[in-house]
Structures are given as C-alpha cells and as structure tokens.
Amino acid sequence: MNSIQNYILEHKNRFLDELIELLKIPSISADSAYKTDVLKTADAVKLRLEQAGCDNVEICETDGYPIVYGQKIIDKNLPTVLVYGHYDVQPPDPINLWDSPPFEPVIKKTEKHPDGAIFARGACDDKGQMYMHVKAMEFMTSTNQLPCNVKFMIEGEEEVGSANLATFVKNNHNKLKNDVILISDTGMIANDVPSITTGLRGLSYVEVEVTGPNRDLHSGLYGGAVANPINILTKMIASLHDEDNHITIPGFYDNVEDLSTEERAQMAKAPFSLENYKKALDINAVYGETGYTTNERNAIRPTLDVNGIWGGYTGEGAKTVIASKAYAKISMRLVPNQDWENITQLFKTHFESIAPQGVTVKVTPHHGGQGYVTPIDSIGYKAASHAYQDTFGKAPIPQRSGGSIPIVALFEQELKSKTILMGFGLDSDAIHSPNEHFGVWNYLKGIETIPLFYKYFTEFSK
Amino acid sequence: MNSIQNYILEHKNRFLDELIELLKIPSISADSAYKTDVLKTADAVKLRLEQAGCDNVEICETDGYPIVYGQKIIDKNLPTVLVYGHYDVQPPDPINLWDSPPFEPVIKKTEKHPDGAIFARGACDDKGQMYMHVKAMEFMTSTNQLPCNVKFMIEGEEEVGSANLATFVKNNHNKLKNDVILISDTGMIANDVPSITTGLRGLSYVEVEVTGPNRDLHSGLYGGAVANPINILTKMIASLHDEDNHITIPGFYDNVEDLSTEERAQMAKAPFSLENYKKALDINAVYGETGYTTNERNAIRPTLDVNGIWGGYTGEGAKTVIASKAYAKISMRLVPNQDWENITQLFKTHFESIAPQGVTVKVTPHHGGQGYVTPIDSIGYKAASHAYQDTFGKAPIPQRSGGSIPIVALFEQELKSKTILMGFGLDSDAIHSPNEHFGVWNYLKGIETIPLFYKYFTEFSK
C-alpha cells in the first residue's frame, strides 16, 4: 500500500493549506463572543467531509453547538468504523505568551519537529488530528481503497464538557451503530516511540467549604479559643493521605483493578528517564504512592489532589484575622471500575465525618466521568498495532494515560463498542497552552497510518 | 472627693461637645489623603492640653506624624505619671456598613449604653479614651487637686504601627522619665464588671511559600506522581498542632510562664457564659488547647493560627491543575517571656525542616512584638484597683487580653516603668469596625476614675 505515501507526497501542500485554513477560524466554544466562528467551522468541516467522499453529510443541531455527521456505507456486511473528533478549541489565553498569533498559523522548525510544526490554537487538539481522518478518508475514497463502512461524528463542545453530545448519542444508537470507534485526541511517547493510549482515568471533582465562627474574628481576641476554619481544613485535607500516600477514604480502593504483571511489564518498556523528568520540572525528587513507579502513579493508580485552596487574608502584608470560612477544590483521578458518582459519595460522607466540632462542612460535587480501558487483545487494538508496525517500523507501546476523556466511557455504555485512541501528538505540543503546535511529520504520518487501521480491522473482523 | 462628680455634672455637655469636635476631624493615619486632617488633630490636641493646664505643650516632629507632648511638674519629689494615647484613627471602611457617617458623631442609646453612646470613628479607639485623661487633668488643675507630676505623650501613628514612636522614646529618656505609665486604649468586661488588663500577648507573623514543580501542571498527566504544593502545605500546617492542640515547634513553650493558681483563680472570677459565647459566634463547640478554659486559651496561652491561605485555581467552576506554588500567612500569639524574634526563628527552622523532598519552602517574617504583663501586686495596679473600687463600688478583675500592644513592652524596656491599662470601652463598642461607639457613661466614668488613680498612686508611693 505504497500508494498512500505517493498520494501524500503529491497532495502534501494542499493537506497543509486546508488545515491552516481551518485553524484560522477561532472556534472557541467557551466564549460566546466567537459563536459565529464556531458555527462557521462546523460548515467548513461539513464541506471537507463531502469533498472527502462522505454521503449524507449534515449539521446536526443540539442545544449547544452542532455536531457534524457524515458517512460512507459501502456494504452492510462489512464492519463500520465510527470516527470521533472535535472542531472547537481552547481559549488562547494567556495571549501574551504566544510567539505568533494563535489564529494565524505559521510553520516553524523545532528540536522535536525538524520537518517543521504548525503553530496555532487547535493545531494538535483537535483540528489537526481530526483532519488527518478526513484526509485519510479522501485518499481511501478517491483511490477506491475504502475497505469498510465509515461514520464521522465531529462535535463542537469537547472543550466545554461535551454537554450535548451525550444526548445526541443516546438518541441516535442506530445512526451511530459501529464496530469500533476511532479517536485521535491523545498523544504518543515520541516520533520514534509510537504508543497507543489503552487507558484513561476517571474523575471526581468536588469543592469543600469549612465554616467556623459566623464572622471574621480578631486573631488576638479569639485566637486559640475557637476552631480556625483554615487550620481545620488543612488538618482534614492532610488526613486524606497516609504515610504511604494511600488515600484514606474508606472504600476508595474497593474496585481498583490490579494490573496484570504482563501489562505492567509492557508499560515499563516505555522509555523513561527519571532524571530528565525531575529536571524538566525542577524538582529534587518525585513523590507519590509507595510501591509504584512514576508512570504507574499517574496512569494506573487513583489520586487525590487539591487543585485550589483559599481563605482569610491573602493580600499584601499582614492581617490578624481568623476567617469565618475556608475553601478548597479537590479532584480525584480514578481508574477503570471506580464509579465516579460512588467515589464522590464516599468522599462526601468521609469528609463530613472527619469534621471536628466547632465547624460545619459543605461538600459540593462539581462534575466527573468514568475511567476507561481497551484490552490490548481486542481486534481494534491489534489492527492499530499492525498499522503502526507498518508505518513506524515498530510495534506501538500500550500506554495508560493519566488524563480523562469521559465521552469514551459514554460511547462504550451507549454504543457497546470499544474505542481505539490513535494519537499522533506529543506531550511537548503544548495543547491547552500558549504556542500549541502539531508536527508536520506527525500530521502526515497519521494520514498514512489511518488507512492501514481500516485495512487490518476489516481483515481481522472476517 | 465628691467634687469630681459635681464638676462632671456641671461640665458634662462641654466635655461631650469638645470630644465631638475632635471626632469630626478624620485623622486617618493609614491614608495620606488625610494628612492635613491628621496634622490638624495634633494641633487640636495641643490646644486642649494647654487649656487643661499643661505647660510646655509642644508638637514634636517625627519622620511621620508628630507626637504631642505636654507636662505639669509640680514637685520634683512627687511621683510622675506618663499618660500615653493616640489621636489617629482606623480607616472607616467598609463605609456602607455605617448607620451614620463615621465623622459626623451622633449620640444614640443602645442596649448596653442606656445613657447613650457617641457613634463615630475613634470614639472609643482612642480619641474618647485619650480625651478622658485631658478632662481629668483639667479637673485636677482647675481645682488644685493635682497630687503629682503629669506628662502627656499623644501620638498619631498607633493605627499604622507606631513606626516613629520607638525612636522618639529612645531619644527622650529624660523628658519621658516617669514612675508609671497610664494608658486607656483597652476595654473592660462590662459596666457593672470593671476589669483591668494586666497582660498582653506578643506576636510573630510570618508568610510561607511552598514551591513544587516549576510550572502549573495538568492534574491528569502529573497527578499522583509529583508533590502537590497545596497538599504538602496542608500536611505541614496540620503537623504544627498535636491532638491536644499543643504547638509542635521544638522549644516553642520553653519560656512560657505557668500562671499562679491564684491568678488563674482571679481570672476565673470573670463572669463568662460559654453558651452565650458559642451563641454569639454560631458555633456548636469551642476548640483549643487541652487543659485550659476558653478565657485562658485566648489570654495566657500562646497560639498558632493561619490568617490566610491560597494557591491553585480559586475561580468559578473547576480547573484540573496542580499549582506550582502554595502560600499561607501564619501568626503566633505569644505570652510574656516568649521572645518574638526567637519564636520566629524557631518557626522558620522547624517549618523548613519538615518540608518533604520534592518541594522547597520559603519562610518570610512579617513583623512581631513582645508580650507584656503587669504584676497585680504593683503600686500602679493597686492604685488603679482602689480607684475603680471607689467609682464602680467593686474591685476590678485583672484580665489578660489576647491582643497585642507592642509599644507597652517597648516602654518598659526603654523607660523601665510599668504600664497600667485602664480601659473603659466595651468589646461591643466595635472598634476598628463600622459603627464604632463609646458609651457616654463610660466616658464620664473614666474622667471620674482617673483622678483617683493619681491620688492613690501618690499615696502608695510615699
């Protein structure tokens, strides 16, 4: 299937120009000021899907931004791949830290991208990675090499929580029926170390409020005689981990899967330098749960982190006040089988139970999502693995990611099919940060690899 | 000495009018916009001291606002009382919470002040209490009943830390030479429960900064694998108290005096309702060091309170970030014999020593002051006690205050004399808060009691 390489060579510049056009539209879903641009982007995606050979391409309205749907059904008896991606992007702030305007894409060489990288908001997350699938589709249809059925579902609210996607999926089981779901919205270890994300962590995010006296007090006149909400909050939060950094919430670990030594061994193959890791973060030591490596701690183990804390006087200088209230935002990363709503309830019950007399505690759940894992012996994973083997010259490493993509668990629940996360970005591509970029080599390598996934998935499904 | 009562009856309205005139000038030392008013107030005080019969009244310039000095030396062989007070006031903010303009004094009846109270910024702290001494002086000189020598030192920077008073005192040992220092800048328990403040707590105020990774991190990708500065800060702060709420800093209690059972018994006489205390603060229980009562906890025992804490994301909603830094402002109230600079050093050494690997800690001292205590068997205390006995019909209760007035320790150090804190305000007078007021009864009772202190102090000094 060398023809894909020739095709890419031939159309490379157009592939880049089309992506750059797409990146110029500031489709910031979080900021209503950009509503017209987000809608304009949906129309652009619709047009590109049609040009790529999709039929029945439509703008599906939701209570929020629309979902662009398109499909190509060549044979009811062949397997169907559902491609998911999103056309909305994160806000570019802090804007002043960008070396070039976030919506004026430029191609610059970097150490990790000697062939150049496209710098723009959304370059990697997710316009660039989503568009690889559109171009791969164009290749397969225009050269009559599409081996199976394809469905595209490209949403415009991923960066704001996919609020309306769930409803759409629930109401369209038939339309979205598929044998495997393909997503490129994650990363890989390095250009010479391909990897496939096989696991995502779930999330439970809560906010806690500790209230002591009914008003701020003078710390001289009341200090030492009443419970200080800030002191109490620190005591309560500190008690959530023991000396081994195990989380002390009763029942927290009940459903945590113990990974097979085989998969832990597979994971350990990922090249990793603790020295470089510490150097990159300017820390003299890593820190975490006893008995697990750094890569295991942030991938296959659940965590509890305070994401924000505040209370009392935080201005310049000194104020001798005992605050009436103290607050914290706390998030727990969960592993597959931990139900986020159950964990949220366990946290609430426990946190309220450890509040000493003299204060009252309020726990407010923010949001959450389930974890997810793809078995590495599934047809989908094997097809992806073979595809990488062909284009990268080596088998990809299965990798658990510490992050969360709640919709993946939703897809499995609603559509009863597994998701394959074929990400071609790098951690250093600065998604969600200033100077986001996506390697030209990675963009083209993705376009080259995707058709092979279709080929192998169809073969293995026979 | 009934003549004082008659004198007050006769001049009551003028005494009130003069104070109200003084209260109309917004002498806010913290806000340079009021500079002219602060200086104008100093002139007004100078004039009143002259009218009260002081000699050599002068405006003593400093690097900040001037100190008004005046004296009446009647006999080198008689004892000398040095009166200290301040003519500057706190800012009135939040201004919208005042029922009447802070610098347009009005007299209104309140539950605790059936004879009416003067509502204005500075009414109690400290113009009203300072002016009691001026009027007491007027009475003694105009009726030839001044029993000893008097010196007045009224400053204009108390509300901003008395920055220049220390220099003035150090450079004027002779001018300020005295046998006892008299200050009315504190309160008493109730109008029918006179009390004298015999102790003040010292203060050490520090700010701490915990730094982990060199930048904010995604809690999904790094959570559980690196030290989270906020989690670490809560652990470190929580460890500063043990289960009995003793402070765990090594050496912290080394110089803490154990109060005599007699003085503890004296203190315990102060009428106190734990129920009302809890009700007033809307708390279901008090909290503090095991083995001490509420009044002891906030008066004779040292404390450690977090006055402010912040770090990470504190805005609306949720952000899954691991902050690079976390901060807290921590103050320790100290008891007599605890040296604040030593305690600050002990805190710094200990706090830095408990920082785990993976973070760095910075401790920045803000400011501090020494504690102070007046022995209840001193001539000064006895004289005050007798004066109260005469005017209130009962002996005052010696009371340790949890607050701090650093200059009192300075006076003893520089001038080698003890201070008697004859305060006539009530805790409910809302000093430093909106609707500050001072009872008319308290104002006149102070004017009535002060001359008796002079009388007894002179007698007991023979």
A346-364 pLDDT per residue, tens: 999 999 999 999 999 999 9
Q: In this structure, what token pair is assigned to residue A124?
A: 């990697």
Band of the pLDDT at B147, cuts 50, 70, 90? very high
Dist CA A301 CA A256 (whole Å) = 8
CA A177 to chain B, closest CA, distance in angstroms equals 31
Are A112 and A135 in the same domain?
Answer: yes
Q: Please, which pLDDT band fits residue B240 given cuts at 50, 70 and 90?
A: very high
Mean per-residue pLDDT, B437-442: 98
- Segments of B61-172 assigned E as strands: 67-72, 80-86, 106-108, 117-119, 149-155
- Distance of alpha carbon B107 from alpha carbon B120, whole angstroms: 9
| DSSP 8-state symbol, A193 | B
pLDDT surpasses 90 at A320: no
H or E element in which residue B13 lies? helix B3-23
Query: Do residue B238 and residue B117 come from a single domain?
Result: no
Residue holding tokens 């250009």?
Answer: A191
**Euclidean distance between CA atoms B417 and A292, whole angstroms:** 65
Given this model, what pLDDT does residue B2 score? 64
| Shared domain check, B239 and B104 | no
Q: List Cβ neighbours of B404 (8 Å cut-off, separation of 6 or more).
A: A220, B200, B201, B202, B203, B333, B369, B371
For chain A, the first-to-last Cα distance in angstroms comes to: 20
Q: What percent of chain B has pLDDT over 70?
A: 100
DSSP, res A344: H
Residues A207 and A185 in one domain: no
Interface with chain A: mutation pick from B186, B209, B211, B222, highest number of A CBs within 10 Å: B222
The Cα–Cα gap between B306 and A314 comes to 11
E-state strands within A80-132? 80-86, 106-108, 117-119
Tally DSSP H helices, then E strands, for chain B. 13, 20
pLDDT grade for B459, boundaries at 50, 70 and 90: very high
Contact at CB, B308 and A314, closer than 8 angstroms: yes
Residue A2 has pLDDT above 70, yes or no: no
- Determine which of B203, B211, B221, B316 to mutate to test the interface with A (most A C-beta atoms within 10 Å): B221
- What's residue B332's pLDDT? 96
Q: What is the total residue count of chain A? A: 462
Please check whether residues A243 and A131 belong to one and the same domain: no
What integer pLDDT is reported at residue B176 of this predicted model? 98
Put simply, the answer to whether A327 touches B310 (Cβ < 8 Å) is no
Helix boundaries (H) for B27-144: 35-51, 127-142
Q: Return the higher-pLDDT residue of B64 and A319.
A: B64
Mean pLDDT of B154-158: 95
Residue B325 phi, psi (nearest 5): -135, 150
A312 pLDDT exceeds 60?
yes
A215, A333, A358 ranked by CB distance to B219: nearest: A333
Residue B131 above 60 pLDDT?
yes
Q: Are residues B51 and B196 in the same domain?
A: yes
**Token duo for residue B35:** 């500079």
Give the DSSP letter string of A11-45: HHHHHHHHHHHHHTS--BTT-GGGHHHHHHHHHHH
b/e sequence A393-414, b meaning 16+ C-beta within 10 Å: eeebbbbbbbbbbbbbbbbbeb
Question: Across all residues in chain A, what is the average pLDDT?
Answer: 94
Are both A127 and A61 inside the same structural domain? yes
Assess: ipTM above 0.90.
no
Q: Do B318 and A367 touch (CB under 8 A)?
A: yes
pLDDT in tens, B266-275: 888 888 899 9
Instruction: Determine whether the interchain pair B403/A220 forms a contact, defined as Cβ–Cβ distance below 8 Å.
Output: yes
CATH number, position A133 = 3.40.630.10
| CB-CB neighbors (< 8 A) of B306 in chain A | 228, 230-231, 234, 311-312
Q: What Cα–Cα distance (Å) separates residue A260 from each residue in A301, A341, A395?
A: 13, 26, 20
Beta-strand (E) ranges in A186-313?
187-188, 195-200, 202-211, 217-218, 303-312
Nearest CA in chain A to B246: A224
Nearest-neighbour CA in chain A from B141: distance (Å)? 38
Question: In this complex, which of A317, A356, A366 lies closest to B366 when CB atoms are compared?
Answer: A317
Over residues B321-328, the mean pLDDT reads 94
Residue B375 pLDDT: 87
What six digits make up the tokens of A55?
Answer: 């039929």
* Identity of the residue in B205, B227, B306 whose CB atom sits nearest the CB atom of A287: B227
pLDDT over 70 for what percent of chain A? Answer: 100
Question: Whole-angstrom Cα distance, residue A221 to residue A115?
Answer: 67
Chain A residue at shortest CA distance from B368: A318
CB atoms under 10 Å from CB of B435, counted, come to 19
Closest residue to B303, CB basis, from A223, A366, A427:
A223
CB contact under 8 Å between B222 and A298, yes or no, is yes
Quote the mean pLDDT of chain B: 94
Q: If DSSP codes are grouped into helix, strand and coil, which group holds residue A415?
A: helix
For residues B162 and B56, the answer to whether their CB atoms sit within 8 Å is no
CATH number at residue A308: 3.30.70.360
* Domain encompassing residue B193: 4-200+371-461
A104 and A175, same domain (yes or no): yes
Q: What is the pLDDT of residues B76-92, one digit of tens each?
A: 999 999 999 999 998 88
What integer is the mean pLDDT of B303-326? 90
pLDDT tens digits, one per residue of A325-348: 999 999 999 998 899 999 999 999
Tens-place pLDDT, residues A166-203: 999 999 999 999 999 999 999 998 999 999 999 889 99
Query: Contact, B175 vs B87, CB < 8 A?
Result: no
Nearest CA in chain A to B235: A238
Please report whether residue B266 resides in a domain: no
Residues on chain B touching A335 (C-beta within 8 angstroms): none
Number of domains in chain A: 2
Yes or no, beta carbons of A331 and B312 under 8 Å apart: no
In eight-state DSSP terms, residue B277 is H
Residue B271 lies in a domain: no
Nearest chain A residue to B403, by CA: A220
CB within 8 Å of B436: residues ≥ 6 apart: B102, B119, B120, B121, B122, B123, B124, B125, B429, B430
* Minimal Cβ distance to A358: which of B201, B286, B310: B286
- B177, burial (CB in 10 Å: exposed 0-12, middle 13-18, buried 19+): middle
Determine the Cα–Cα distance for residues A280 and B273; give it in Å rounded to an integer.
58
Supply the pLDDT for residue B317. 75
DSSP helix, strand, coil percent of chain B (3-state; round to 5): 35, 25, 40
Neighbouring CB atoms inside 10 A of A30's CB total 13
pLDDT over threshold 80, residue A317: no
Q: Do B252 and B388 lie in a common domain? A: no
| Cα B387 to Cα B133: distance, rounded to the nearest angstrom | 14
Asked if residue A223 lies in contact with residue A312, where contact means CB atoms within 8 angstroms, the answer is no
Confidence of residue B433 (pLDDT cuts 50, 70, 90): confident
Q: Which residues of A touch B285 (CB under 8 A)?
A: 227, 357-358
Q: How distant is the Cα of A145 from the closest Cα of chain B, in angstroms?
A: 38
Torsion, Cα of B6, B11, B12, B13 (10° steps):
150
Of all residues in chain A, what percent carry a pLDDT higher than 90?
A: 79
Which of A369, A391, A411 terminates a domain? The answer is: A369
Whether the predicted pLDDT of B318 surpasses 80: no
Span A417-462, pLDDT tens digits = 999 999 999 988 988 888 999 999 999 999 999 999 999 999 999 9
Helix (H, G, I), strand (E, B) or coil at B306: strand
3-state secondary structure of B448: helix
Residues B387-425: pLDDT tens digits?
Answer: 999 999 999 998 888 887 878 989 999 999 999 999 999
User: How far is Cα A51 from Cα A45, in angstroms, rounded to an integer?
Assistant: 10
Residue A402: per-residue pLDDT:
80
Q: Looking at A343, A369, A395, which one is the last position of a domain?
A: A369
Cα(A399)–Cα(B84) distance, integer angstroms? 73
pLDDT digits (tens, 9 = 90+) for A115-132: 999 999 999 999 999 999
Q: Which two tokens stand for residue B53?
A: 């019969």
d(CA B279, CA A224): 18
Instruction: Please compute the mean of the pLDDT values over residues B51-79 and round it to a whole number.
Output: 97
Residue A394 to residue A193: CA distance in whole angstroms: 8
Q: Has residue A284 been placed in a domain?
A: no
Q: Which of A214, A237, A356 sits opposite B287 (nearest CB)?
A: A356
Mutate to test the interface with A, among B160, B215, B226, B274 (most CBs of A within 10 A): B226
Q: How far apart are CA B65 and CA B449, in angstroms?
A: 30
Query: Three-state DSSP class for A253?
Result: coil
Contacts with A242 from chain B: Cβ below 8 Å? none
Which residue in B has a C-alpha nearest to residue A245's C-alpha? B224
3-state secondary structure A118-164: EECCCCCCCHHHHHHHHHHHHHHHHCCCCCCEEEEEEECCHHHCCCC
**Residue at a domain's end among B369, B390, B422:** B369
Chain A residues with CB under 8 Å of B295 CB are 225
State in Å, rounded, how far the first CA of chain B is from the last one.
20
> Per-residue DSSP letters for B168-208?
HHHHTTTTT--SEEEE--SEESBTTB-EEEEEE-EEEEEEE
Q: What is the pTM of this model?
A: 0.80
Distance of residue B311 Cα from the nearest chain A Cα, in angstroms: 5
Interface touch B331/A223, C-beta < 8 Å: yes
pLDDT tens digit sequence for A203-226: 999 999 999 998 888 888 888 999
DSSP state at residue A355? P
Strands (DSSP E) found in A36-116: 55-60, 67-72, 80-86, 106-108
Residue B411 lies in a domain: yes
Residues A378 and A354 occupy one common structural domain: no
Q: Which residue of A has its CA nearest to B221?
A: A402
A278 occurs within a structural domain = no
The long-range contacts involving A54-62, CB below 8 angstroms and separated by at least 24 positions, are A54/A137, A54/A150, A54/A152, A60/A168, A62/A157, A62/A164, A62/A165, A62/A167, A62/A168
The verdict on residue A283 lying in a domain is: no
**Phi then psi dihedrals of residue A121, to 5 deg:** -65, 130
Q: Is the pLDDT of residue B1 over 60?
A: no
pLDDT tier at A258 (50, 70, 90 boundaries)? confident
Q: Are B365 and B206 in contact (CB under 8 A)?
A: yes
Task: Note whether B237 contacts A239, CB cutoff 8 Å.
Answer: no
Tally of CB atoms within 10 A around B421: 26
* CA-based nearest distance A2→chain B, Å: 37
CB B394 within 8 A of CB B194: yes
What is the least distance, in Å, from the CA of A72 to any CA of chain B?
A: 36
pLDDT of residue A186: 92
Structure tokens at A370: 């389930």
Do both A196 and A210 map to the same domain?
A: no
Contact B105, B20 (CB under 8 A): yes
| B292 → chain A, closest CA residue | A225
* Residue A441, pLDDT score: 98
pLDDT score, position A398: 87
What local confidence, expressed as pLDDT, does residue B141 receive?
97
**Contact B267/B284 with Cβ under 8 angstroms?**
no
The answer, yes or no, to whether the previous bond of B192 is cis (omega within 30 of 0) is no
In a domain, B297, yes or no: no
Statement to judge: residues A159 and A234 lie in one domain:
no
Task: For residue A425, tell me if it sits in a domain.
Answer: yes
Q: pLDDT tens-digit profile of A378-416?
A: 999 999 999 999 999 999 998 888 887 878 989 999 999
Residues of chain A with C-beta less than 8 angstroms from the C-beta of B287 = 225-227, 356-358
